[in-house]
Structure 1
Amino acid sequence: MHIGISSPVTIQEFVPFLNKESQVKANGIIGLKAPAVDSLIHSFLIQGHKVSVYTLTFEVKNRVILRGDLLTIYINPLRVNGKLRALTFFNKEINFIFESVKLEPHLPDILHAHWTYEYAQGVVKFRNRIPVIITVRDWAPKILKLNLNYYRFARYLMDFRIFKTSNLTFLANSPYIKQLVKKKWKKEVEVIPNSISNKFIKTNFTNIEKKRYIISVSNNISPAKNIEKLLIAFQKINKKFEDVELNLVGKQFYMNVPKVKKWETMGLLNKVNLIGEVDHKKLMEEYDRAIVLVHPSLEESFGNILIEALARGLPVIAGKFSGAVPYILENGKIGELCDVSSISVMENSMADMLNNKALMVDLSEKGIKHVWSKYSQEVVSNQTLAIYNKLIKE
């Protein structure tokens, strides 16, 4: 099968699948990270499918095409100025994706776009020639509500346009998103969850006796991520468990960021380590150093961070009202659910977990088994391929 994927990807994950000339061309191009899509593509290639990837990155000024026996990657420019992208509704980026597909000697058997924005709009014009699938990976109306700015408003309108387009097949990455799609758009969609690379899933549970770090991972520090309340709760925990520290991982956890500096002046960074941005391999190492993950986010359409932590055998505390979080944690069977909007509740959940080593070991074992059975590359890719085959036959 020839599969076309329109999505952010991590270019360096696919260097082994490229010819020598393209490996040289790929040097220094990282791409935009999308681990769930990366692992899906990797699984397709391992199974012998031909894959074409249409992607965008800030790192190139002109289109770069990388080739291998089974893989072709069309890397297109992404404008650095987010406001300008939004003002023009990503018109250049959409056209880059569209033109990349047109460069194919033969169209793929199926096109699969991830997210409902530029990557989707770049491929929808082919929907009357081949099946086009759009995976809904976030919920634009809720994101706009939590982040009232023009950029998110433009994204909301792009999302609206995709859902109003006929002859598309939609997938959701969680039952939470599935319910939202059904309620707003009256569309029945199947759920295909995000996957995680098998190389990151442990085979046995974590030895918690040697750990003394709580970890929290976030791609941004917007109000929806709720980091400040976590910091307040941790300072209270710090008085009860003096040997415990908090590691914050993410691209905005640096002292020169104004909000982080404000937290310091508020006295919220005592025994808090600002790890900052790390690559995916290093992130797994950070999980392995920790004793528990606390994820205070108020909204998650899926929760890759939760899956990654569970895969490393790390007990998880996360929001019981935070979108797809209860789905990921099996309604509390494989992780602790609490009201993360409450500082005192979050504090009590951390204290209860730190005081109960038997519970931590139990959750660690259950988490690893659950990830292998539900989110491994083979499981998710086979579910996806079944949908591809069904649509192609139709």
Structure 2
Amino acid sequence: MKGATLLVTLIETLLGLGHEISAFSTDPALEPSRHNRVVARGHRFTMYYVPRRRHAMRSDRGARGRMLDFFALERHALADAIRQECPEIVHAHWSYEFGAAALDSGLPCVLTCHDSPWAILKVQRDLYRVGRLLMAKSVLRRARHATVVSPYLVEALQGMTRAPLSVVPNPLPGGLIESGRVRRAPDLAARAPRIAMLLNGWSPRKNPEPGLLAMKHIRAVYPQAEMHLYGPGYGPAEQAWTWTVAQKMENAFVFHGWTPYTETMKQLAGMDLLLHPALEESFGMTIAEAMALGVPVVAGRDSGAVPWVLGADSGGGALVDVRSPRKIAEAVLKLLENPECYVRCSERGRARASEVFSPAAVAQSYLEHYQQVLAHSDRVPAHATGEVSA
């Protein structure tokens, strides 16, 4: 979703530990020229923006689509900016144009992989995803030091790289963890249940339809139950609304659509349960966020990293076949109607989020990786000691 905070959290944590940070990103508002960039400098923090073409295949302001040359303009512009800043070490997030640019800079580099291009291509079969797969394969072949955000990605990517893959999960904002609490089961005799579904787009991979259809079964038991929908594609007159109108069940839903992150988390804290029907996740930030807030989760038992994030042994919720609306509904009702199970899931989810996904723990893991990379590097810029590029 827009406003995702994992890199902001990591940067803030490293700054709090006294490090200097330079961050590099792309912006479609900038004219597509390799040498066009915007730089903002603050206390121990510098932000670089370089152009990103707005279209994958179609031309954009005189430049061809970005996938037609495998993001060449973006890669070159990022690499130029990184060389100009010359940090001690570069930490590249995502194994595509950012990973390629970091490697092209020639500086010591840690690559963090956030997804499996093969898994995404299986459920989103188009030329763009083929191009992304080819980009990732090139980056992973070149990488010497790499981390992944879940054990699922170790298995998914180990055949694509010779670099050892270490697991360092995504960090949750510290304030989110602190604001959470262990919850009691809702009093369903006093009010109807409130269920949240937060998905980043309407796509086969996100698998929204079975989750929406589960409300037919839930409403057969609790006629006033509501499902609150968040994310692009889930607002009034967007894809989810159109689909539910065709199913004649739109009255079961509240269509929030894209909502700022802080407001989304505030509203999620007021829900009884999170339903996450995605077929594949390389991590699942929404699940971890719900756990931090103490909100039990129903998610896919075969959905990539989801069981690991939720904690199959520690039990932050229920794992089900998310292709089946009936099984989703059964898991939701079982959690809501069993107070002991509900509280146990809330407690264990909170504990796992605090212990495994805290910003301090994640930042410390990355710092250890930086030290290992620099210890084996024959190039350490003398004037950039203590700087990290994200």
Instruction: Please report the TM-score for the alignment, with normalisation by the length of structure 2.
Output: 0.88
Distance 1:243 1:174 in 2: 38
Amino acid at match of 2:127: Y
1:344 corresponds, among 323, 326, 329, to 326
Listed one character per residue, the Cα deviations across residues 91-148 of structure 1 (whole Å, up to 9, x for unaligned) are 11112211211221xx211111011111111111234xx3211111000011111111
Selected match of 1:192 from 154, 159, 168: 168
Indicate conservation of the 8 Å contact 2:321/2:327, yes or no. Answer: yes
Shift of the 288–237 alpha-carbon distance from structure 1 to 2, 3 Å rule, reads same
Amino acid at match of 1:49: H
Identity of aligned residues (%): 28
Whether contact under 8 Å (2:290, 2:297) holds in the other structure is: yes
Partner amino acid, structure 2, of 1:325: V
String of CA shifts for 1:216-269, please: whole Å, max 9, x gaps.
Answer: 100111011111111111121111112320001001112333564133111232
Contact 1:131 1:168 (C-alpha < 8 Å) held by counterparts: no
CA contact (8 A) 1:235 1:270 kept: no
CA contact (8 A) 2:202 2:232 kept: no
| Aligned equivalent of 1:137 | 114
Q: CA deviation at 1:186?
A: 5.3
Equivalent positions of 1:94-173 (< 5 A) are 94-104=75-85, 107-127=86-106, 130-165=107-142, 168-173=144-149
Q: What is the alpha-carbon distance in structure 2 between the residues aligned to residue 272 and residue 359 of structure 1?
A: 26
Say whether 1:47 aligns with 2:26: no
The answer (yes or no) to whether the contact 1:214–1:291 under 8 Å persists in 2 is yes
1:178 touches 1:188 (CA, 8 Å); kept in 2? no
Whether contact under 8 Å (1:213, 1:247) holds in the other structure is yes
Cα distance in 2 for partners of 1:343, 1:146 equals: 19
2:69 matched to which residue of 1?
88
Instruction: Please give the per-residue CA displacement for 1:52-86, whole angstroms capped at 9, x wherever unaligned.
Output: 00111234445221111200000122222133222
Superposition pairs for residues 233-382 of structure 1, below 5 Å? 233-258=214-239, 260-332=241-313, 333-382=315-364
Report the TM-score, using the length of structure 1 for normalisation: 0.87
CA contact (8 A) 2:15 2:44 kept: yes
Query: Which one scores higher on RCO, CA 8 angstroms, separation ≥ 6?
Result: 2
Match of 1:15? none
Pick closer, same or farther for the CA change 1:295–1:258 going to 2, 3 Å: closer
Query: Unaligned stretches of 5+ in structure 1?
Result: 1-9, 11-31
Q: C-alpha offsets along residues 24-51 of structure 1, whole Å, 9 cap, x if unaligned?
A: xxxxxxxx64422211111000111000
For the pair 1:79 / 2:56, whether they are aligned, the reply is no
Structure 2 alignment gaps of length 5 or more: 58-64, 377-390
Distance 1:361 1:236 in 2: 23
Which amino acid is the alignment partner of residue 381 of structure 1?
A
- Kindly indicate whether the alpha-carbon contact (under 8 Å) linking 2:232 and 2:258 is maintained by their aligned counterparts in 1: yes
Equivalent residue, structure 2, for 1:37: 7
Q: Does the Cα contact within 8 Å between 1:63 and 1:74 map onto a contact in 2? A: yes
In structure 2, what is the Cα distance between the partners aligned to 1:258 and 1:123?
37
**Which is worse superposed, 113-122 or 251-260?**
251-260
Cα distance in 1 between the residues matched to 2:312 and 2:212: 25
- Give the paired residue count: 359
Which amino acid is 1:119 matched to?
F
Q: Relative to 1, partners in 2 of residues 1:79 and 1:208: Cα closer, same or farther, differing over 3 Å?
A: farther
Query: How far off its partner does 1:184 sit?
Result: 4.5
- Once the two structures are overlaid, the 10-residue window that deviates more, 383-392 or 78-87, is 78-87
CA-atom RMSD, angstroms? 1.8
Q: Return the offset for 1:389.
A: 1.0
